């Protein structure tokens, strides 16, 4: 690992063969960039906007890299109140969209030329949202054409603790000059698709039923929630089938029914498309689908792999 500064902010870099990874581990544990050096030129796997501000009060808002979503994803509701949730005792607490980890400080526990392990350091905002005893750790494993990220949630409390975390990968798209979104296909096999309503409810989305391939210019694809995955691996790339990128969700060949992949982009002109592996759908503390409870003294994990092989 090489340490360096960017605009006065501490950063880290891993150079492994053709791949270069750059992170800001102490601020949101954010993976910023993943570049691939090819004989034909460089390819940006993850989009990171030029000049983006990594200051503590700014990095959480940057659309790029891979924001960490913890302890819950998406918009959460409690008794109709947006950005709130209820614990097992019925206590209502605040919960920002996608949780608070992407804005939090992390400390580096260990690192090497192939990995890093970091730990979340809760601030006052995090404690107001989630006032329990726990450790949330993230382990990155870097290889030339392969990234593995493991969430480790350790319950240090005396009661079961709920969590439902995920990733928000901003994948560069298109990545070839002269091509557009219509030239790239997403392949994902799922039995159910959903929309997230303005009141927090999950609404079945029948327009995509039975389909397993989608062009990235499909107007139905943004904000789609895929569940009941038939396979843990999602792939996308040019229609030629070459240079496909794969995302594996979890460690089982077939994930739990509520394991989720979300596809999102803000508009047709954005230079990225988000393919997001989540433990469950948004608003899990309310509807309970995909919500996990870590028992006292136990460590639970959630593993995601991204591969160019």
Of residues 196, 24, 164, the one with CA closest to residue 98: 164
Neighbours of 60 (CB within 10 A): 19
The contacts of residue 17 (CB under 8 Å, 6+ apart) are 144, 145
Query: Domain limits of the chain?
Result: 2-307
Question: Contact, 136 vs 119, CB < 8 A?
Answer: yes
What's this model's pTM, rounded to 2 decimal places?
0.97
The pLDDT value recorded for residue 54 is: 87
The pLDDT value recorded for residue 241 is: 82
* Tens-level pLDDT at each residue, the chain (309 residues): 999 999 889 999 999 999 999 999 999 999 999 999 988 788 999 999 998 988 888 899 999 999 999 999 999 999 999 999 999 999 999 999 999 999 999 999 999 999 999 999 999 999 999 999 999 999 999 999 999 999 999 999 999 999 999 999 999 999 999 999 999 999 999 999 999 999 999 999 987 788 999 999 999 999 999 999 999 999 999 998 888 999 999 999 999 999 999 999 999 999 999 999 999 999 999 999 999 999 999 999 999 999 998
Query: What CATH number has the domain spanning 2-307?
Result: 2.70.98.10
């Amino acid at each position: 690992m090489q340490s360096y500064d960017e605009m006065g902010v501490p950063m880290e870099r891993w150079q492994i063969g053709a791949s270069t990874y750059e992170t800001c581990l102490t601020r949101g544990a954010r993976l910023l960039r993943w570049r691939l050096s090819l004989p034909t030129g460089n390819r940006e796997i993850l989009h990171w906007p030029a000049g983006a501000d990594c200051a503590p009060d700014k990095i959480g808002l940057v659309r790029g890299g891979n924001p960490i979503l913890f302890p819950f994803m998406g918009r959460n509701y409690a008794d109709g109140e947006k950005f709130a949730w209820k614990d097992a005792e019925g206590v209502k607490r605040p919960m920002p969209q996608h949780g608070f980890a992407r804005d939090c400080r992390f400390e580096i526990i260990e690192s090497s030329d192939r990995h890093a392990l970091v730990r979340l350091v809760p601030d006052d905002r995090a404690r107001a949202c989630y006032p329990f005893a726990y450790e949330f750790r993230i382990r990155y494993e870097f290889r030339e054409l392969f990234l593995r990220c493991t969430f480790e949630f350790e319950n240090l409390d005396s009661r079961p603790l709920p969590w439902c975390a995920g990733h928000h990968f901003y994948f560069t798209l298109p990545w070839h000059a002269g091509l557009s979104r219509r030239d790239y296909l997403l392949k994902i096999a799922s039995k159910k698709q959903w929309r997230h309503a303005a009141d927090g409810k999950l609404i079945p989305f029948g327009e995509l039923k039975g389909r397993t391939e989608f062009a990235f210019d499909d107007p139905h694809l943004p904000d789609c929630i895929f569940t009941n995955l038939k396979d843990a691996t999602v792939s996308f790339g040019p229609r030629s089938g070459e240079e496909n990128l794969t995302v594996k969700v979890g460690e089982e060949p077939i994930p739990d029914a509520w394991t989720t992949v979300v596809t999102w982009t803000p508009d047709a002109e954005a230079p990225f498309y988000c393919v997001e592996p989540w433990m469950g759908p948004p608003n899990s503390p309310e509807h309970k689908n995909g919500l996990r409870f870590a028992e006292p003294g136990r460590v639970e994990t959630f593993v995601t792999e991204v591969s160019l092989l």
